Each structure stands twice: as C-alpha cells, then as structure tokens.
Structure 1
Amino acid sequence: MHKVLIVDDEIFVRKGLINLIDWPSLQFEICGEAENGAQALTLIQQRSPDLVIVDIRMPVLDGLELIRQVIAQGGHQPLFIILSGYPDFSYAQQAFRYNVSDYILKPVNEQEIAATLKRIATTLNQKQLLSMTREKPLVEIIIESLVQAEPEEQVMTQIAHTLELPLTSSYSYVIAEIQDKLPHREIDYMQPLQSLLQRFFHLEGQPLLIHVRAYNQYGFIVPPLWQDEHYGSERMGYMKLHQCLEDHLSTEIALFAGHKVDQLKKIVHSRTSADECLKYRFAVGFNGVFMAAELLDQPLYYYDVDEELHSKLIYEVEANHKEGYNGAIDAIFLAFKERYFTPGAVANTVRRSMIATINIIRQLEGNEEDLAWLQELMNWQTKYRNLDQLRSVFTNFIAEAAAYIAKQRGEKSNGSIEKVKKYIDGHFRENIYLKGIAAEFHMNPIYLGQLFRKNYGMYFNEYLLTLRIEEAKRLLRQTKKRMYEIAELVGFQNADYFATQFEKLEKMKPSDYRNKMIDPS
C-alpha cells in the first residue's frame, strides 16, 4: 500500500475526500491529515508519505510553498496532487514547474481523481520495484502482485513453482479485518494471524500467502487443500475460522470472503469480489462472515437516511429527550442493517447529524469543540469498524450534545415557548415567519414548530392566522378602512389572499362580515 497525506484547511473537505475514494482498491492508504502546510511539512518528515494531496490556498503555509520547501530540504520527496478552487493558469503553471503529478479543480470529481491515483500507483509501483530490498518478505511481494492483475503465463508458472502450489485448483481471497477499536496497525497482528491461519489450514512449514492491507485489514489466499466438505459447507468453514481467530486474538474480527476461482492467476477476481463484500459490512445477519457468494446479488442502499428519521433525531436532541433520541438512533441503525446501507451512506448520515447538531450549538453561541466525543465521532472510520462500535460512539456524542444544548440555552423546561408566543402576539401584524422567529430565539425551526403545537394545540401558521383574522374583524367592525388597507394592517401582503383566508375561517367574506355587523338583522 502507498501512503497518502491529505492537506486542506477545511476539515469537511478532508473528510469528504477520504470518504469519496475507495483507497485500498487503488493501492493507497491514508497515513495522516493536516490543516495547513506547516503541519504537513512536519508529517512528511515523520511519516514519509508516497503522495501528498494538498489544497493550494491555506493559512500559515500554502500548497505551493509547501512543495517548494519539501524540494528545497532534499529529504523524502513524495509525489504531489494540487487541489484548487481557482481555475487560474498562473497557479497551474507554477504548480507544474514544481513537477506536481496533477492539478485538480474543486469540487473534486471521483472519476477524475481515481484515474489520477491509478496512474500515480503505477508510477510508485515501478519506483518500488526498482528500489526493492529484503525488508519485505518475498511472499508479501508475490501476493500483492497477484491480487492487482493477472500475471503473464511465464511469471505465473515461476510463482507457482517457487511456492509449490498448483496452477489449477480452487482458491479464494479473504480479508480479515481486526476490529479492536484502535488505529491502523497500532498493534501488529501479522505474525500471530499468520501462525493461526497456518495451523487452521494445516500448512505448518509451508508458505501462506498473506499481506497487510489498510484499515487494520490483512488479506490472505485460502489454500487449495482446504476442503469445505470437512465442515459441511463453505460458510460453516469460515464460521469455524472466524471463531478460532477471535478466541486466540482476543478481539472482534470480520471476514470478507471473495468468490472461488479455479486458477491461481485469477485470484485478482476473488480479491475484487472480497473488496465488494466490504460494502455490506453493516448488513444484518452475517455474524462476522461476509461471503461474496451470498451477498453480491443483494441490492445496496447508497443514499442518506430518510428525512423523517433525521428530523426526528434532531428534534429530540434539541428537546433533550433521552428516550426520544435513543429511539431515533434505534430506528436509524436498524435501517442501516436491514436496508444494506453502504459504508458511504452510513458515513453521510452520521456526518449530516453531526453538522445539524453543530449548527444548533453555534446558533446558541456555543463551541462544538467543548464536546469530548466530537473528535472521536469525526474520526470514527479510522477506529470503529462495525455498527455496534459506531452506535456506541454516536450515542455518546448525541447524549453529550443534547445536554450541552440544554445547558447552553439556559433552561431545562419549555418555558421559552411562552416568550415565543408573546413575541408572536406583539408582532403578528408584521411579515413574520417560523424560520425567522426560530433564529431570533436560537432554536431549530422544526423543533420550535412541534413545541408550539404541543403546548398550544395548533400549528404556528394556524395561530398566526387566527390572530390576524381576529384583528381584521375588529377593524371591520370599528373602522371604515378599505379591504386592502385592513389586509396590510394585519400582516397580509395580498388583499385577495386575505379575503380567501378570512372566508376560510369565518365562513363568510370580509364585506359580508362588515355588513352583518352594521345590520345584524
């Protein structure tokens, strides 16, 4: 895997880019993030990324100056991709003088950057082959070659001969993902995992094709001598393997098994289907073993959670109703599992809820950085790899945010709704609307609307219309003003609309009402 450093002063741009691309499938892994060039310079020295994707305009040290300084220092020299919101030829001209690999305009197009990354991966692979040392075992080099593309026959024959493996037999590629709630490779599981797999597959003294992937994942090729019939079914065999690994490594693990292939050189196709299984990681009912043979015909859900569920959650958060927001979280996570949400769709839902919650905090002049769980949730994809883990972090964040919002507003009851009603009573003649009033009182408009109805038995618009029509009736009885004048005085911009609404409530036209008051007989 080639290491990538993301540099942008906007955190949501960084997270959006990280979630946009299937990095492992393009032979990349994220090794860090920086919000300006100065931080990036330090991380380049510390982590030696192969590629740096950098915004051209940032505080402290911009993208072009970062590249200039890296070149001038003469140490580790990564490749660079420039991101820019400015289609200015002079920027691009200067960037290419520094020999950057590409200059991509925002908003980033997924196909464009994926094509660039494929091209850069080829360049990096060639550089790696030219500078290969004995630091990496031959087996890892071989498997990483096999799972990227079908080798030529001559190369394949030499590999099979070296490893004493049959060219034609049943093979599968499997991804073992360690779900220990720790960042990638904080604990190196390679040796214990290799030993366990060799014992399980009865390969003591023989090579096992295994390599390190990104995101705490290890890929391995199931050997041809492993017979499914010994366990009754392929799933049963993987379930036994899953249990063995969890018991001995003392952590949660998920297995993603690709389709079987009938030749070793075709293992790349099994790897591709195993990668596809990763998209089903949040689906219900697979007990830690996700098999391409069972999953890949099932339709995935790529969109955000339903608006009704999202609004319900935000309303309950603002109301600080623990039972309510826990119920909304239950419904959202059930939808993730039952509708086969992709990891990207789950991430979008989490991000949307975070942004909505942060906006409420900011409206109340609070600071979201005060929340202890904010960073943990913001970076959840680097540590939490199943729904139970994500749910725990998400619930803690929501509970903390709800309490913070209640405290920031300075009230633990619905007393503020009385102030809202008094405001409406005093300003109904003006062009007021719910969203504007919500902003005036630092409240979410959906929450305010529901709170108003709960307390007064009618919607905001109904109450406002009632006030206006009652005032119109008084003016019709006590003055000789014309209809358009009365409409304007009570807050209607259009006399015809006023007449329509009056008749809707009073079952008669304004003129008929006035005539009836003059001559009640």
Structure 2
Amino acid sequence: MHKVLIVDDEIFVRKGLINLIDWSSLQFEICGEAENGLAALNLIQLLTPDLVIVDIRMPVLDGLELIRRVTAEGEHQPIFVILSGYPDFSYAQQAFRYNVSDYILKPVDEKELTATLKRIANIMNQRQLLSMTREKPLVEIIMESLVQAEPDDQVMTQIAHTLELPLSAPYTYVIVEFQDELAHREIDYLLPLQTVLQRYFHLERQPLLIHARDYNQYGFIVPPSRPNGQIDDTERMDYRKLLQRLENNLSTKIALFIGHTVEHLKQIVHSRTSADECLNYRFAAGFNGLFMAKELLDMSLYYFDVDEELHSKLIYEVEANRDEGYSNAIDAIFKAFQERYFAPGAVANTVRRSMIATINIIRQLEGTEKNLAWFEELLNWQRKYRNLNQLKHVFKNFIEEAAAYIAEKRGDKGEGNIEKVKKYIDGHFRENIYLKGIAAEFHMNPIYLGQLFRKNYGAYFNEYLLSLRVEEAKRLLRQTKKRVYEIAEQVGFQNADYFATQFEKLEKMTPTDYRNKMIDQK
C-alpha cells in the first residue's frame, strides 16, 4: 500500500476526502492528517508518505511553500497533489514548477481524484520496479503493475530481465477461488498455493507471478510452458489436472477462472480482464469449477429476476408448509439459474426477493426473522458461499425453517384457516372487501390466500365474491322494488354501470331484463 498524508486547514475537507473513495482498492492508505503546512512538514519526515494531498492556501505555512521546502530541503521526497478553490493560472503555473503531479479544484470530483490516484499508483509501482534487484523481486508490485495497465517498454524490459522471462510468449492470467465456506482471508492460502503451483509448473529458480485478490481469490500468471494455440481437449485436461491437484493438496473446494491467452507479457491486463468476466458465469451449468474465457464469453448472461410463476409457487408452498412443494420450487429456481446462465447479480436479486416475501409473511404474523437461525447466514451469503450448491444448501435451510416458523405463528399446519376465510367472505360480501385486506385480517400472504382459496373451492376469490353478490342482487330484484343502482350499492358495488356489466356477464341478461322476466313468470 502507498501511504497518503492529507493537509488542509478545514477538518471537514480532510474527512470528506477520506470518505470520498475506497482508498485501499486503489493501493493507498491514509497515514495521517495535518491542518497546516508546518505540521505537515514534520509529519512528512516522520511518516514518510508516498503521496501528499495539500491545500494551496493555509495559515502558518501554505501549500506552495510546503512543497518548495520539502523539495529543496527534505530527505524524503513524496509526490504532491494540490487542492485549490481558486482556478488561478498563476497558482497552477507556480505549482508545476515544483513538479507537482496534479492540480485539482474544489469541490473535489470523485472520478477526477480516482483517475489521478490510479495514474500516481502506476507511477509509484513503476518506480519500485525499476529499483528492484535480482535478490528481491517484488512479485506483488509486479503483479499489480501488470494486471492494472500495460506498463511502458522500459518497465517491461526490467521485469523480463529480473525474472528471466520472455516478453513475447503466450501468457494466461488465472483466478483461483477458494470455496471453503469461510469469510474472506480467514485462512491465508497464498504460500501453500504458491508451493503447489510452483511444483505443478516445474518452476525451480524462476519465481511464480502470484498475488492475493478479494473474496478468497488469488491471481497468478501461467508461465509460457506450452505453445500458443486454441483451446483444445489437451489444454482443458491440463487445467482439470491442475484443479484436482490444488483441491487434493489444499483440502478444499476450488474454482479456476481462466482468461484469454495473450501474445506478450505486457498484455496480461487483457487476460486478467477476461478472467474477471468469467466470474460472471460461476452459476452456469456444466463447467464444474473450470471456467475458461474462450468457452464462455460469447454466451449471453441472464440479468433479470426469476419468472414470476416460480417465485409465486415458492412463496405459496412456504405458506402451506409443504416440504415437497417448496423443495421442488427451489430445485426449479436453481435449475433456471444454471440453464439460463443467470448473472451473479440476478441470482442475488432472486434470493433477496424471496427473502423479503418470506420476511413480510413472518412480520404479518407478528413474528421476527431474527428468530431464524439461517437468516443471517443467507442475508450475508456472498461473503462465504461462492458456488450454486453452497448457496442452494443455505437457501433451502432458510426456507425450511421459515415455513415451519410461519406455520407455528399461524397456529395451524396448513389449510385450516381457509374455512374461516370463506365464512368471513360469506358474511361480508356486501361490504367493500378485497383479497389483500382479507389476507391481512387473517395474517396470510395475498398470493398464497388466492391460490389456496381456488384450490379448495374451485374458483378465484374475485369469481366467488362476484357470484355471491349477483345471487343476492337476483334475490333483491325478485323480492323488492328497489332501483337497480340501490341494489348495486347494497350488494357491494360502488358503480351501478359496472354492476350491470358484471351481472349481464354471468346471467346473459341485464338486471332490468332479469326483473321483467321474473314478473312475467308470476
């Protein structure tokens, strides 16, 4: 990590800069703060920061004078970036005389600062590369430099000379992902992984280019030990053997994400990019832990939610507390993930949607999802579970536990309440009732209630409600002299024309025709 000192007389500016971006992702860490140039002068010698971000106007000692004194007198020479609220060309001109790296105007734009930091990190990496010796090859720095951008020719020549690697040769970047169901870096696999890889590729004195990534991942560059060419059975078999060797020696489940092979070492950034893209296919079917860019990247990913029918089926079976039903629904959902190449974001959205629907049911019953042992595990699944089988195991355990909890809170084991619902409808059909309101009254999910009602009584809720209202309207048309609009209102319709339309749909005649027919029959 490169150390950063922030110098500004406004504390809110300093804290704002610290919180503006993810410094560590750009290879930086904040090592200190100063409120004026004099305090910064002492901290630069004490903390030896690699980068100083300094305000141009400050009390005691301003930014330009600080830079002048450090440049002229200081033993440690950091890179400077100036912040200023004044777009004055004379300031900028003076700053660049001191070889200031950049001049950024306030308020600071996140994208502008991020671009500046990326450029400076690359400069720093290259400086370190050019100063390294054969006895101390800075592998981590080499990897960061290679996989972030194409280094210039001077740097590449130094890398090749130091590591005794050919520049023009086939190179491939591979991501090794440990699927050990542990949080990131709970176990550091770097050294044992390096040992296994060096043995596999028969590297004796030559170092292996390897580095640690996030999410229990490590990246390495395959040495140019085989001739370049298209993917064939032999190459896939080689990677399959490598995967088996890694899993056997490191005693855990592993996946390999293999980028495109490039023709030159300086182009390895493009191989790394394609390996990163392979991560999006981790839930696709048929690859069994081996994901190769040339086989995958032309295939379309699915970025949407799972079909509504599958989602509704799952929630219905959860409310019904039927193990076979929700197990089948889960199987169908996870089969869709694989066969339709769901992107990781689409999988996460589907899981989140199912969780929210289940939690809403629990809360309607005055329960709490925090009583479920698997709730936190599924909520944070992306931190630990990295393949579909692992996710499915956690998801199914959550659903099974939630279904039992919902049944317990409701006080029955399935469909006993549906008779009470029907009796409620029979007694209140003249009122302005609707499915969602009744579901809330009985602490049930509306979708589940609608499906359960149809299963038990052979009609949808709205169909049954309409039949009750029309039957009552027929009775009133026969037995009273009330006007049609009065009858419509009495049986639960807010609009007489709508009542007449629905009546005619069921009875094949208008309410008035029905009354006249009944009178004629007397």
1:343-422 to 2 correspondences below 5 Å: 343-422=344-423
1:273-292 to 2 correspondences below 5 Å: 273-292=274-293
Q: Distance in 2 between matches of 1:154 and 1:131?
A: 13
Give how far 1:182 is off.
Answer: 0.5
Give the letter for the 2:430 counterpart. R
Matched, 1:503 2:504: yes
CA 2–345 in structure 1, closer or farther in 2 if over 3 Å, else same? farther
Give the letter for the 1:449 counterpart. G
Give how far 1:436 is off.
Answer: 1.3
- For residues 375-413 of structure 1, the C-alpha deviation after alignment (integer angstroms, 9 at most, x for no partner) is 111111111100000000000001001111111111113
CA RMSD in angstroms, aligned pairs only: 3.5
- 2:181 maps to 181
SS in 2 for 1:211: strand
- For residues 118-175 of structure 1, the C-alpha deviation after alignment (integer angstroms, 9 at most, x for no partner) is 55555677788999999x9711110111000000001110111000000100100000
TM-score, with length taken from structure 1: 0.77
In the alignment, structure 1 segments of 5+ residues that lack a partner are 4-20, 30-47, 52-74, 80-95, 105-111
Q: Distance in 1 between matches of 2:406 and 2:224?
A: 59
- 2:212 maps to 212
Matched, 1:453 2:454: yes
1:109-258 to 2 correspondences below 5 Å: 138-226=138-226, 233-258=234-259
Q: Distance in 2 between matches of 1:372 and 1:50?
A: 39
- For residues 292-313 of structure 1, the C-alpha deviation after alignment (integer angstroms, 9 at most, x for no partner) is 1111100011111111111111
SS in 1 for 2:521: coil
Q: Distance in 2 between matches of 1:366 and 1:130?
A: 60
Give how far 1:348 is off.
Answer: 0.8
SS in 2 for 1:519: helix
1:422-441 to 2 correspondences below 5 Å: 422-441=423-442
CA 435–235 in structure 1, closer or farther in 2 if over 3 Å, else same? same
TM-score, with length taken from structure 2: 0.77
CA 413–318 in structure 1, closer or farther in 2 if over 3 Å, else same? closer
Give how far 1:241 is off.
Answer: 0.5
Give how far 1:233 is off.
Answer: 2.0
Q: Distance in 2 between matches of 1:415 and 1:238?
A: 57
In the alignment, structure 2 segments of 5+ residues that lack a partner are 4-20, 32-46, 53-83, 86-104
- For residues 13-51 of structure 1, the C-alpha deviation after alignment (integer angstroms, 9 at most, x for no partner) is xxxxxxxx9x99x9469xxxxxxxxxxxxxxxxxx9769
Q: Distance in 2 between matches of 1:303 and 1:518?
A: 59
SS in 1 for 2:257: strand
Give how far 1:439 is off.
Answer: 1.4
Give how far 1:519 is off.
Answer: 2.3
Give how far 1:516 is off.
Answer: 2.2
Q: Distance in 2 between matches of 1:456 and 1:519?
A: 35
- 1:315 maps to 316
Report if the CA contact (8 A) 1:228-1:234 is conserved.
no
Report if the CA contact (8 A) 2:211-2:218 is conserved.
yes
CA 277–413 in structure 1, closer or farther in 2 if over 3 Å, else same? closer
- 2:10 maps to none
Give how far 1:286 is off.
Answer: 1.0
Q: Distance in 1 between matches of 2:508 and 2:376?
A: 58
Report if the CA contact (8 A) 2:283-2:338 is conserved.
yes
SS in 2 for 1:331: helix
Q: Distance in 1 between matches of 2:284 and 2:445?
A: 33
Report if the CA contact (8 A) 2:310-2:333 is conserved.
yes
Give the letter for the 2:201 counterpart. F
Q: Distance in 2 between matches of 1:102 and 1:350?
A: 42
CA 199–127 in structure 1, closer or farther in 2 if over 3 Å, else same? closer
- For residues 308-335 of structure 1, the C-alpha deviation after alignment (integer angstroms, 9 at most, x for no partner) is 1111111111111111111111011011
- For residues 456-505 of structure 1, the C-alpha deviation after alignment (integer angstroms, 9 at most, x for no partner) is 11111111111111111111111111011111111111112211211222
SS in 2 for 1:475: helix
Q: Distance in 1 between matches of 2:423 and 2:26?
A: 59
- 1:513 maps to 514
Q: Distance in 2 between matches of 1:406 and 1:242?
A: 45
Give how far 1:433 is off.
Answer: 0.9
Q: Distance in 2 between matches of 1:396 and 1:388?
A: 12
1:11-90 to 2 correspondences below 5 Å: 27=25
Give the letter for the 1:267 counterpart. I
CA 49–433 in structure 1, closer or farther in 2 if over 3 Å, else same? farther
CA 256–450 in structure 1, closer or farther in 2 if over 3 Å, else same? same
Give how far 1:113 is off.
Answer: 7.4
Report if the CA contact (8 A) 1:171-1:267 is conserved.
yes
Q: Whose radius of gyration is greater, 1 or 2?
A: 2
Matched positions, count: 436
Q: Distance in 1 between matches of 2:121 and 2:434?
A: 58
